[in-house]
Structure 1
């Protein structure tokens, strides 16, 4: 019985989104401090934006909610030419900061009203407004949709 209860508790904890007080995003690079560690609550303090778009990895159009990446950069006075985005699985890609200035790219925290967890591309997924700009329907931009985002390095 105890084994069953322990197993059930582990399943519940694995399905539960990350605790709001644990850092979910680390920002390094061209900043005044050595690094910035942001919690889910810190990210929710930024202005939130809703974005409805199709993706190459989900069916149909989805509604994403999260913060504009440019708002995060501005809030922490981060300047540079490129952001290196890194995922939980160590996938890395350089994203020109100009992308965040030209397009409403968000750090999605939820999709279709459900908070993103590491099991479903969270806790943060970089999402481009793909349906709003024909030029974004290109593989060069598709590779910049980093899911399970854990860090940004500003250069």
Structure 2
């Protein structure tokens, strides 16, 4: 039976949400990754705390840049609400970080260096290629230009991500993800 064009793969947003919820329910029931998380050898640029099964410190799971890069790099090209034109980002997928630490929850709170905090629905990581970007337009991001990590949504690939409520989730100068 042919499907209409109601979204990616013929599925509407409601079906994508349901599929993402099912994926996370199945993932949550699975045992956490057995491989321990190594100790960072460079400066820690991200801490994942809260409902995580795999940690390497009393604060939770600490990552240096090389540990994040070992999860696999992804590129996203998209516009942002704060810059002109299409920007080219490189980093690791939020879902890969959450999977690596065995995170289970409903909300991820992104905390910035300046203590800005933004709740992010857990299902965003399954529905979209949400990036923890470390590179923008070929240059490694520094604190002065929204680094070392910036949560980036692929807003040009999904029209709903251009809605204003998603802008609050683009935490720059990210230092911690708290999983609840």
Category of TM-score, reference length = shorter chain: 0.7 to 0.9
Map 1:1-155 onto structure 2 (within 5 A).
21-32=42-53, 33=55, 34=58, 35-155=60-180
Question: TM-score normalised to the size of structure 2?
Answer: 0.74
Q: Which residue of 2 aligns with 1:5?
A: none
Deviation at 1:47, TM superposition (A): 1.1
Question: TM-score normalised to the size of structure 1?
Answer: 0.85
Q: How many residues in Structure 1 have an aligned counterpart in Structure 2?
A: 136
RMSD (Å), alpha carbons: 1.0
Structure 2 residue matching 1:70: 3-state secondary structure: helix
Of Structure 1 and Structure 2, the greater strand share is in: 1
Q: In structure 2, what is the Cα distance between the partners aligned to 1:44 and 1:38?
A: 10
Q: Which residue of 2 aligns with 1:14?
A: none
Moved over 6 A (4+): none
Structure 1, unaligned stretches of length 5 or more? 1-19
Q: In structure 2, what is the Cα distance between the partners aligned to 1:28 and 1:68?
A: 17
| Higher RCO (CA 8 Å, separation ≥ 6 residues) | 1
